Structure 1
Amino acid sequence: MRNAEEFDDFYAGSSRRVLGQVYAMVGNRAEAEDAVAEAYLRAWDRWSRVRECESPEGWVRRVAYRIAVSAWRKAANRLRAHRRDVTDDHVDPINPDHVALVQALRQISADQRRVVVLHHLVGLSVAEIAAEIGTSANTVKTWLARGRRALAEHLTSNEQYVMGGRGRDA
């Protein structure tokens, strides 16, 4: 029980000071509080080693700062990834051909759409598609042929839309 009392005394005597220091370093009180709480938890888990350090308080402060920085990096990376995704969506203007293809794909049967996408967009062979969807290669070939034919009809009927609304003679 001596360790618990010793740790409690250490915590009571240093936690407010460490919180103030970490807050000053990271600039956000909530983040500092979370980081300091986690650092003291880690100190408790390792108290037999931490209490032997030259400065247990310094150990906690260093760990709390690292936790805060790590949390900040994770948040910044998530934000960057989100911005990159959003930016990517806005950098590439919507291509009328892409819109027409998606619209045409929606108008063919689900089985045909699936094999057309797997073959032409994913790049799978007929045998690979058959294995993935659990059907025969001949069925895949039939769906591909019918899907291509249906797509051609839908794309031809939407030719004006495919040409960006200008028509063939624009």
Structure 2
Amino acid sequence: MDKLRDVFDTSYRRLVGQLYGVCGDLAEAEDVVSEAFARAAAHRRTFDAVDNPEAWLRTVAVNVARTRFRRRAMGDRLLRSSRTTETRHPDLASDRLALVAAMRTLPHAQREALALHYFADLPLHDIAVAAGVPVGTIKARLSRGRSALAGLLDAPAREDDHA
């Protein structure tokens, strides 16, 4: 069996899970990961030469997601994905759905940093390299994103306390 097939078999689901946090939509995550594998197939020599094929595919998938994000109006994308995620994927854990829904409201750069750090478990340096920014910028994005998420995810609990 060839390298690309082996990597697909071992990494596809994990990459989709990681990109789900970046994209905020499972179908979109599946699309960008599939696109990354298609690009790997189209550039076999490059792909076969990389030391860490999963990291290479993740970087390609994140870049595909960024490009798609830039091409769409944010409001249209959020509206479309928020209407369909829960009905298409009722088996996903409700906590994860709530987290991803809250993450959708964050700026793309914060959402990407949070997803790569917490869903993909990447170190700060690797996230900085993938994003093309200094590590300090990633730290700031993570801090701001965590603060925003804390406010968003605690909001219902605070409302219940006042009832």
Sort the TM-score into its range (normalised by shorter chain).
0.3 to 0.5
Q: TM-score, normalised by structure 2?
A: 0.43
**Larger-Rg structure:** 1
Ranked by relative contact order (alpha carbons within 8 Å, sequence separation 6 or more), the top structure is 2
